[in-house]
Amino acid sequence: MHTDILDAHCYVFNHWVLGLLDERPKITSIKFELVPYLVRRQFLGLAGVPESLHEAASHATALANSMSAGADVAGPDDLIRCFSLVLPADGLYCARAKSVPAYARINREVATLPRSEYTPWPKLPEAPGRFRDSLIGTEVVLGSKVSIVKSCVGSHCKIGAGVKLNSCIVMGHVVIGDNSVIQNTIICKDTTIGAGCNINECQIAATSNVAAGSRLKDEQVGKEPAGADDYW
């Protein structure tokens, strides 16, 4: 037993579990209701599982068993199986983005991790001093004399000439005009920042438009989000 393990709140379910949620609308929490329910049922076959889901669950389990190294161990009644993955604290990175500050911190930390053959993002452009401790996505267009430090830039962005980004998170499909200086700011997807802006300590919602020459500090820009999906 351990009490020092971080729950990353990352769950992978077979598709038939979505049907189970439709059949049992009173289940409202993955962590406190759905996972404990599946753990309790895992050695009881399909008992307690709605009959309409029996075929999907049986097929999913048979497929998983056939691809598993332990296929010869699982019996025909083991139709619901639950597993957990415990990662060692050293050598691997795991964190939970449960708040905006945590999300920003995690992006900065990931940007400084060493690369490997499995790293999914491109290498930084070779320009000493101008690109450091950062991640830049695919299909990004960079103007001349751009500086990106301790920042993450999403795919399909257009960064104008002379732009300086420091400790920023720029999501996908963002356009930033020439000579803008942006620090400690989160810019959400499909946003346009005009030329010559100076932005510090801001959160800019998706699809926002910031006028050229704007001076912003410690502001939330854009529509009030109805939910997380609207904001990000």
Domains of the chain, each with CATH number or no CATH: 1-94 (no CATH), 100-231 (2.160.10.10)
Q: So what's the pLDDT on residue 15?
A: 81
Contact between 109 and 95 (Cβ < 8 Å):
yes
Question: What is the model's pTM?
Answer: 0.71
Separation in Å, CA 9 to CA 5, 15, 31: 12, 18, 8
- pLDDT, tens digit only, all 232 positions of the chain: 666 787 888 888 888 788 888 888 899 999 899 999 888 877 766 655 666 555 555 554 554 454 444 444 444 445 677 888 888 777 778 888 888 889 999 998 888 888 777 777 777 777 767 888 999 999 999 999 999 999 999 999 999 999 999 999 999 999 999 999 999 999 999 999 999 999 999 999 999 999 999 999 999 998 655 455 555 5
Q: What tokens does 177 get?
A: 């005009």
Q: So what's the pLDDT on residue 58?
A: 53
Query: How far, in Å, CA of 176 to CA of 198, rounded?
Result: 11
Axis-axis angle for helices 16-23, 54-67 (nearest 10): 150
Name residues whose C-beta falls within 8 Å of residue 169's C-beta, 6 or more positions apart in sequence. 103, 104, 107, 151, 152, 185, 186, 187
Query: How far, in Å, CA of 46 to CA of 54, rounded?
Result: 7
